[in-house]
Amino acid sequence: MLTIGQAIRAAIIDHARRDHPDEACGIVAGPLGSDRPERFIPMINAEHSPTFYSLDSAEKLKVFREMDDRDEEPVVIYHSHTATEAYPSRTDVANADYGTAHFVLVSTRDTDGLGEFQFRSFRIIDGVVSEEEIKVVDASE
């Protein structure tokens, strides 16, 4: 199960809305071994594409060095799908090389603003996709 703060969930959704129609992407870091997503890090989609994302390599190196310096690891890797449901594509599965990080997907295909965007979390280990429950907590929990 992914336990995530309400503010971080909102920040991920806001980033996805802001970058639409391109896919948005980023990381939520947390203390090593804690499985607690605490520090929201929006990143640049190097592809600037509505159908594909990749983390900018220079920015990724900087962010990972910073996480090392802070004794953090990527707890959540997130990105948006702009025209499809929030479910990992074959490319997402093939590129899932972040250990046991949670993969959060947000679908922004409902651009009329009337519906709740899909916000789903998955574990992708050895090419196997498993959806997991999400528990959203407020800052006091």
pLDDT digits (tens, 9 = 90+) for 30-73: 999 999 999 999 999 999 999 999 999 999 999 999 999 999 99
Burial state string for 67-100 with b = 16 or more CB within 10 A and e = fewer than 16: beeeebbbbbbbbbbbeeebebeeebeebbeeee
- Please write the tens of the pLDDT for every residue from 119-139: 999 999 999 999 999 999 996
- Please write the tens of the pLDDT for every residue from 90-123: 999 998 888 789 999 999 886 555 456 789 999 9
For residue 117, give both structure tokens: 């965007």
Domains of the chain from N-terminus onward: 2-133 (3.40.140.10)
Output the pTM of the full model: 0.92
CA 64 from chain centre, in angstroms, equals: 15
